[in-house]
Amino acid sequence: MRTWLPFATMSLLAGCATHEAPQLLPADHNGPPELPAAMPHVDPADISTERMSEVTRVLASEDFQGRSMGTPGEEKTITYLIQQFHLAGLEPGGENGTWTQTVPMIRTKLQSPMSFSVKQGASTTALRFPDDIYLSTVRDTNEARIANAPIVFVGYGVNAPERNWDDFKGQDLKGKVALILVNDPDFEAAAGDLVAGKFGGQTMTYYGRWTYKYDEAARRGAIASLIIHETAGAGYGWNVVQSAMGENFNIVLPQGAQQPVLLQGWIQRPAAEALLKRAGYDYETLKRQARSAAFKPIDLHATFSAQAPVELTRLTSRNVIGKLTGSAYPNETVSYGGHWDAYGIGAPDAEGRTVRPGAADDALGLAAMIEVARKFASGPRPQRTLLFTAWTGEERGLLGSEYYAQHPLYPHETMAANLTFDTLQFAGPVNDAVLVGRGQSELERYMEEEAKAQGRYVTPESHPERGLFYRADHFSLAKRGVPVLLDMALAGAYDMKDGGRVAGNRWLDAFTAKCYHQPCDAWSSSWNLEGAKQEAELFYAIGARISNSRDWPQWNPNSEFAKVRAQSHDARPGEQIVVAPRGERGRR
Ligand SMILES: [Zn+2]
């Protein structure tokens, strides 16, 4: 057990020894917090590395216990963020004049005894959890039970009309188990294949994400989805797949909403290969067939059974939202975001540390966002409304932003852009800016121009196969058509002012291997936040430009998200639709 310090002993006012211990406000307090925080005294119009460091230090401190949803760490986080938003000069932007939006959630965990098996003809094969198969549920249920559901191999499980691709060919999956290949149909395509480049080549599209595959199977009525795990295609090993040990989270879905599959997860490649072989199919041959648009689902004449009790917990979490009301067009918005949650408490690392404090991911992102907010609040009020949101539950599946997207407090149609900070680097100043998800929207041009004004150039992400564009909160808004930019230091090595790309790679590799989602992602007084400051300045400049213009940044016509945005065109006064030449997005 961990000792829990009373809040009043927190070193919230470190650096200000004469100050009395703060009397902190309850997190649901709606008025302005009365307390001044001991922030370094730097002009509010400047992005301050000292203030960013201090905010990160507090959020990543032991007392906040890794900022997990539904824990005392959440209470402290929300209280602190409201205080910081207020001090930055924001107004409450949440529900009913408050600073927050309530996000009802469920937490599930599969319990022992559990059993999973495949029946083919007279023989039944047990699948061991979590060695052969890894499953969890995001349904509101106390039990996961599946009896003899037919297994259908659906190739890559993709329905992409804009690419003339449909792996389902009308196949009804009601009550069935979808067995699905990892990543996009062209991930392993050779240069001459017809499919090559159709899904971005090595760049993962939304169709390659497991979230998409589970959702698509659910839309077709499947009871379970199983993705065949391969490390290259997934972007991570089986150790990452099984690390949550059967736990999962979801937002509480509205009445009548599409239900997710009952069980979702992964099957190890050797277990899948054996299953297919017994059904008379060779795995590599099937993969080749699935790389063709002519592919049709295959009934494997096998059934899947599962039984596991589910520990179901209900919790209420919150998004924190602040705003600056626009001077001329208050109903049009530009939004900034970052997530407040981290990975809570886990198994001890080599040094015995158990708290996973999420310092760079994403306390530092929030600290940058707060600096941007303060800079806006200290200057002339922009014409459009600015929103600043600290999302909950990002690490558990973009939950806070998804809930907001389903229950928006400001119309999506007139949100001109969303700019998201998720994980900034702390290794010093840089010569470039890393673009995540190239070829998506006009915002990339804004980024290029504003980076240039800062003396930086734009570098495309170096790990497009990781699909990071689909893995942060901006994506929940992108799905509803809002043009987005993501600032994420995990997407590629920077060209560091000191040491160039080699030094950038050294930081990225070390952080990804040792610290990402681990106790090692901790604050340090030796951080150099000059690079994080450049990111805050860049997003400030882009947001300032959009919020003081009549611009409606456009998706590229071939983007997955152009269609949904076009549907609300009439809601945007004066929007000029950019018609780019066909195949524009194919340039990547
Ligand atoms: Zn993150």
DSSP 387-400: EEEEES-STTTSHH
CA 339–ligand 1 middle distance (angstroms):
7
Give me ligand 1 centre to Cα 357, in Å.
11
Cross-strand pairs, 390 = 320, 338
> What is the rounded radius of gyration, in angstroms, for the C-alpha atoms of the chain?
24
Element (H, E) at 377: helix 364-378
- What is the pLDDT, as a whole number, of residue 502? 97
Give the per-residue pLDDT at 466. 79
Residue 445: partners with Cβ closer than 8 Å, 6 or more residues away:
none
Q: What is the pLDDT of residue 207?
A: 92
Amino acid, res. 51: R
Find the 378 Cα to ligand 1 centroid distance in Å: 28
Contact 296, 169 (CB under 8 A): yes
Rounded Cα distance, 523 and 533, in Å: 16
Burial string for 412-445 (b: 16+ CB within 10 Å, else e) reads: bbbbbbbbbbbbbbbbbbbbbbbbbbbbbbbbbe
- Confidence at residue 579, expressed as pLDDT on a 0 to 100 scale: 60
Name 426's Cβ contacts closer than 8 Å, sequence gap at least 6.
Answer: 360, 364, 524, 527, 528, 529, 531, 532
Span from the CA of 359 to the centroid of ligand 1 (angstroms)? 10
Query: How far away, in angstroms, is 475 Cα from ligand 1 center?
Result: 13
Question: What pLDDT tens digit does each residue of the chain (588 aa) get?
Answer: 333 333 333 333 333 333 333 334 444 444 444 444 567 778 888 999 999 999 999 999 999 999 999 999 999 999 999 999 999 999 999 999 999 999 999 999 999 999 999 999 999 999 999 999 999 999 999 999 999 999 999 999 999 988 899 999 999 999 999 999 999 999 999 888 889 988 988 888 889 999 999 999 999 999 999 999 999 898 888 988 887 889 999 999 988 899 999 999 999 999 999 999 999 999 999 999 999 999 999 999 999 999 999 999 999 999 999 999 999 999 999 999 999 999 999 888 889 999 999 999 999 999 999 999 999 999 999 999 999 999 999 999 999 999 999 999 999 999 999 999 999 999 999 999 999 988 899 999 999 999 999 999 999 998 887 788 988 999 999 999 999 999 999 999 999 999 999 999 999 999 988 898 889 999 999 999 999 999 999 999 999 999 999 999 999 988 889 999 999 999 999 998 766 544 444 333
Ion ligand 1, residue ranges at CB < 5 A: 361-362, 422
| CA–CA separation, 209 and 198 (whole Å) | 16
Q: Which residues pair with 466 in a beta bridge?
A: none
Give distance in angstroms: CA of 503 to centre of ligand 1: 22
What is the 491 CA–ligand 1 centroid distance (Å)?
A: 12
Instruction: For residue 165, give the 3-state DSSP assignment.
Output: strand
Distances (CA, A) of 496 to 359, 364, 506, 534: 21, 19, 10, 12
Rounded CA separation 55/57 (Å): 5
pLDDT of residue 333: 98
Per-residue confidence (pLDDT) for residue 235, from 0 to 100: 80
Q: How far is the CA of 67 from the centre of ligand 1 (A)?
A: 12
**461 CA distance to ligand 1 middle (Å):** 17
Per-residue model confidence (pLDDT) at position 19:
34
| Residue in 535, 444, 540, 448 with CA at minimum distance from that of residue 483 | 444
Cα of 362 from ligand 1 centre, angstroms = 5
